Amino acid sequence: MRENRKRFTACLLAVVMASSAVAGCQQKATWNQDPKTGENPVKAPDTQKEETDKMAEDPKSGKGKTFVAQEPKKAELSPEDYEGWNRLLAENEISEAFAEGLDRFAYESGSTVLKDTQGNGNYSPLSLYYTLALAGCGARGETAGQILEKLGVKDQEELLDQCRRLYQSYAYYSQGEQERMAYYGMEDYRSTVQLGNSLWISDQLNIFEEYQKLAAENFFASSYGVDFGQAETGKRMGEWIAQKTKGVLAPQLEPDPATLLVILNTLYFYGGWAEPFSEELTEEDVFYLEDGGQAVVPYLNRTETEGAVKRGDGFTLSYLGTNNGCRMVFLLPDEGRTVGEFLESPERLRDAMEMREEDWASKKVIWKVPKFDFGSSYQLKDALKAMGMERMFEGQAEFGGISPDPLMVSDVIQETHIGVDENGVEGAAYTMMAMARGAMAENEEIAKMILDRPFLFGIRDDYHGTWLFLGVCKNPEGESENTAADCEDSLADNDLLLTSPPEIGLEDALSGNMQRFMVKPGNYSWHWREDGKMTGLEACGSHPLDTDLKKADILKLPGYNGLEESDFLLSCIKMPGSVAVQEWDISQLGKAETAEPSVKVYTGQWMLSLKPDKVYELVAQWPEEELERQGFFGEARYVVVTD
């Protein structure tokens, strides 16, 4: 699903001086009773967020900018306690007014961002909304007024409360679904909607602790004190994004040294089709381009005997459900009509993509959906100005709730990825805001969704009535085009050719001090293709239990209230496909021939749990099947001794 994906280098252009579904069909998400359900009394969950950790002193800045936020407290509920889970969701339900505001923002921003797209485009209104909300809760005066109006809320208190509820709702729904699926033997269930937020604060900025606490308690956003003049800062921000989007997005960021504050949001979505497509029915066929050309692409094929369809003025709309309460909506223009017509205004986009209960007709639907996989990158400053939020980009912007220092927004960018295959749809986005110093249905029996020409699409969360993504597909084979010409120089193909295994980093997840323990590979087998030729490299070293402690670098584990193990975030310039962690007790040193390790395998989840007084061997694999995409493959082993 992630093949042929371009990665982009995103530049923060810090400027010191002036620089719906489908609403009518919305259903409440519930865990339906299962025949195996039994009565299991459980402790009622505390739905309030846990106390955040106290300020941690950042050794680099010396100003205590780092502030660790806790994710929503996990619900202490049995997988079979459907009533309890539904009650928990109800307690975190967003208001109808807030949902309507999210919709208005999605249609207005979606039309503004996508209407001039020349090629493919994928945009996340929800990711941009959360970024603006974090900034808006620290804004004052006219700046706050413009932001809050466009976000569709009456005041900052409502915005804080509703954003917290929505974040918690996604966290609890994902937790409940994954635990329930595991309980019924479906450990490979991976459908989810996950949000992430963070603040990156220059050592040159005086920031209010109250704002950091507000961000942590309502947006679950950790703060990191950094030096934007150091290249390492951009690398760490990119690694944070990669971790939050499960490696789908891994940008190389180059922050301008004049940047004082960066607000980051991430959104990760995976939804397996409620009814997967059969790979046996996937076949290649022609896709007709707007310019009269053609492309041959693979199509997913299926016929639904009872599908839902809306026929509108010049288009047909239908959707495919996913197994996490969402749906992917497709708008197919009639012959002779273009997708651009439906992006001309927020009203036109809403009229086409939104529908009431009476708009749906039940019909047999013949589906022919092209497999597609592409990314988009947008410079959003002009779009936000066009929507009426000019003030925050001016030297007189008011962000007095964030800092006593004058701040203005210097840049807002977003990068996304979308992929569709036989099993489901995967989408990821991050939005980055940089701040600098300021001064009707027809009665027919069959509908055909033959998506063999440009079409619109969206991913809709039915429970909250929220558009997660809106996009346009003009060529399933083609790469997306950047919609902001002035950012073209900042976009580059960032795929990296490695001719030897890279180092890996282990970073203490609780302290938030961004200190990384670096480990070089020992034994490895490495292969890469360069200029069309395959080259191999082998290195053989000693067994991990032959480690000489006098010469080894020791990873010291923090003693957090006597915890028996600590979580470390694994990072790498090119993330592996899997990591097998073998563990021996340090007392087994010198017993390589007899000691048997315990083994745990991580795939796509890079938070490793490590214990003191252990010898670990991390066996990282970069799969051979990804050779065509990344140009290399191999296995490397890393030895880590803990204290």
Q: Are residues 397 and 452 in the same domain?
A: no
Question: Tell me, what's the pLDDT at 561?
Answer: 53
Q: State the pLDDT at residue 559.
A: 66
Low-confidence winner among 432-436, 444-448, 490-494, 497-501 (lowest mean pLDDT): 490-494
354 and 206 assigned to the same domain: no
Flag whether 349 is in a domain.
yes
Residue 621 has a pLDDT of 93
Token duo for residue 271: 């939804």
Distance CA 219, CA 224 (A): 15
CA distances 423 to 164, 166, 275, Å, are 31, 27, 8
Of 196, 198, 206, the C-alpha closest to 64 is 206
Angstrom distance (rounded) from CA 284 to CA 286: 7
Query: Model-level pTM?
Result: 0.65
Same domain (yes/no): 346, 449: yes
pLDDT value at 32 more than 60: no
Q: What is the mean pLDDT of residues 274-293?
A: 92
387 has pLDDT over 70 = yes
Confidence of residue 575 (pLDDT cuts 50, 70, 90): confident
**For the chain, percent of residues with pLDDT exceeding 70:** 84
Domains identified in the chain, total number: 3
Render pLDDT for 505-541 as a digit per residue (tens, 0 to 9).
Answer: 888 755 544 467 889 998 999 998 887 788 888 888 7
Q: Would you say residue 402 has pLDDT above 50?
A: yes
List own/partner pairs for 231-240 with CB under 8 A and 24 or more apart: 233/200, 236/514, 237/200, 237/262, 237/264, 239/569, 239/571, 240/198, 240/264
Q: Is the pLDDT of residue 308 over 60?
A: yes
Give, in degrees to the nearest 5, the angle at Cα 92 between 88 and 94. 145
Mean pLDDT of 40-65: 36
Burial 152-179, CB ≥16 within 10 A → b, else e: bbeebebbbebbbbbbbbbbbbebbbbb
Q: Which tops the pLDDT comparison, 9 or 146?
A: 146
pLDDT for position 400: 93
Q: Is residue 118 included in any domain, yes or no?
A: yes
Cα-based distances in Å from 493 to 12, 53, 206, 251, 441: 17, 39, 36, 10, 45
Within-domain flag for 409: yes
| Res 541: pLDDT | 79
For 316-364, the pLDDT digits (tens) are 999 999 988 899 999 999 999 999 999 999 999 999 998 777 888 899 9
CB-based burial of residue 351 (10 Å sphere; 0-12 exposed, 13-18 middle, 19+ buried)? Answer: middle
Residue-range definition of the domain harbouring residue 609: 504-642
Residues 306, 383, single domain; the answer is no
pLDDT computed for residue 161 by the predictor? 96
Tell me the average pLDDT across 603-620: 86
pLDDT of 443: 45
**Helix/strand/coil for 413:** strand
Shared domain check, 313 and 413: no
Of the pLDDT bands very low, low, confident and very high (cuts 50, 70, 90), residue 562 is low
pLDDT, residue 469, reads 79
Residue whose token pair is 């004190």: 225
Higher pLDDT, 25 or 421: 421
CATH number reported for the structural domain that contains residue 347 in this entry:
2.30.39.10
Let me know whether 301 and 263 are in one domain: no
Same domain, 596 and 630: yes
pLDDT for the residue 512: 43
Residue with more model confidence, 132 or 528: 132
pLDDT band at 445 (very low <50, low <70, confident <90, very high): low
Read off the pLDDT band of 200 (50, 70, 90). very high
| Confidence band for 62, pLDDT divided at 50, 70 and 90 | very low
Give dist(CA 568, CA 606) in Å, integer.
Answer: 8
Top pLDDT among 445 and 369 is at 369
Q: Are residues 360 and 382 in the same domain?
A: no
Closest CA to 382 of 254, 485, 229, 305: 485
The model's confidence at residue 140, banded by pLDDT at 50, 70 and 90, is very high
Q: Compute the Cα dihedral for 178, 181, 183, 187 and give only its sign.
A: negative
N-term to C-term CA, the chain:
41
Question: What is the pLDDT, as a whole number, of residue 46?
Answer: 34
CA distance 89 to 91: 5
Q: Is pLDDT of 42 > 50?
A: no
3 state DSSP class of 107: helix
Contact between residue 134 and residue 151 where contact means Cβ atoms under 8 Å apart = no
Instruction: For the chain, give the mean pLDDT.
Output: 82
Whether residues 606 and 537 share a domain: the answer is yes
Note whether 105 and 244 are same-domain residues: yes
Per the model's pLDDT, the better-predicted residue between 632 and 461 turns out to be 632
Residue 631 lies in a domain: yes
Q: Which residues contact 94 (CB under 8 A, 6 or more apart)?
A: 162, 165, 166, 169, 464
> Same structural domain for residues 130 and 241?
yes
Q: Is residue 36 part of a domain?
A: no
Q: Report the pLDDT value the prediction gives residue 509, as an integer from 0 to 100.
A: 59
Q: 392 pLDDT exceeds 60?
A: yes
**pLDDT 10s digits, 362-379:** 999 999 999 999 999 999
In a domain, 42, yes or no: no
Q: Could you tell me if 377 and 365 lie in one domain?
A: no
Mean pLDDT for the stretch of residues 72-96? 92
Residue 201 inside a domain? The answer is yes
Residue 111 lies in a domain: yes
